[in-house]
Amino acid sequence: MATEKKIDYVILGLLSHEDLTGYEIKKRMDTTLKYFWGASYGSIYPALGDLVERGLATKRDGAENGRNKLIYSITEEGRSCLKAWLALPVEKDELRYETLLKLFFGKDGGEEQAIDHINAFQEKVKMEMSCLLEAEKTLKSVLDMDETHKYYLLTVEFGIKTYEAYLAWCKEAKEMLGPSK
């Protein structure tokens, strides 16, 4: 029960829903989880190895027609480990927005530059928003099929609500900066 890193729990969490390969885990990270957690191969594969070594997951060969494939499953110990972590209070919620940093020091760059940064931010948010809206529609339509969907939807709703706030802020912020334009 040593202090596992977050990445371990993320993987355990994913494996608690379905068996996955390292590659598939990475895909989940890049799509579903990317809004609030990220990870690279360089942290996923070593973590998987550790998990197996500690008996929290098992690895089996799942090669299909010559294609290399290692499928990981969660063990009972893995499940209790995950459950124990879920019961612990949250340690840290962290936001690191370079956009806000550049805006905070924005006077040194001038109004136009600040507006450029806001516009870029707005575009990115709009783009991701449409993905979230997609996900919301899908999840709502299959909500009763699996209990996990409710929890996924919760996080999607979080994203939608905050992105709406971001978009409203973008508009206001630009008005505050360039009242003449």
CB of 45 to DNA, least distance (A): 4
Among 49, 55, 109, 178, binds DNA (CB under 7 A): 49
Which of these, 86, 157, 168, 89, lies nearest to 126 by C-alpha position? 168
- Report whether 106 contacts 173 (CB < 8 A): no
Rounded to an integer, what distance in angstroms lies between the CA atom of residue 99 and that of residue 120? 9
Torsion angle, CA of 25/32/35/158, rounded to 10 degrees?
A: -140
Tokens of 98: 């370079």
The option from a copy of itself, DNA, none interacting with 124 (CB < 5 to 8 A, set by class) reads a copy of itself
Give the range of 18-26, 108-116, 151-159, 167-175 binding DNA by CB under 7 A: 18-26
Among 31, 34, 46, 164, binds DNA (CB under 7 A): 46
Q: Does 127 bind a copy of itself (CB under 8 A)?
A: no
Relative orientation angle of helices 41-53 and 22-30, to the nearest 10 degrees: 130
CB of 89 to a copy of itself, least distance (A): 6
CB of 39 to DNA, least distance (A): 5
- Report whether 129 contacts 167 (CB < 8 A): yes
* 68-97 residues near a copy of itself, rule: CB under 8 A: 79, 82-83, 85-87, 89-97
- Closer to a copy of itself by Cβ: residue 48 or 103: 103
DSSP H or E stretch at residue 72: strand 70-74
Give the range of 36-44, 115-123, 125-133, 146-154 binding DNA by CB under 7 A: 36-44
Cβ partners under 8 Å of residue 159, min gap 6: 35, 128, 132
Cβ partners under 8 Å of residue 116, min gap 6: none
Tokens of 52: 């197996």
Note the residues at the interface with DNA (CB under 7 A): 3, 5-7, 21-24, 26-27, 38-43, 45-49, 64-71
Note the residues at the interface with a copy of itself (CB under 8 A): 6, 9-10, 13, 16, 33, 35-38, 79, 82-83, 85-87, 89-109, 113-114, 117, 120-121, 124, 147-148, 150-155, 157-158, 161-162, 164-166, 168-169, 172-173, 176-177
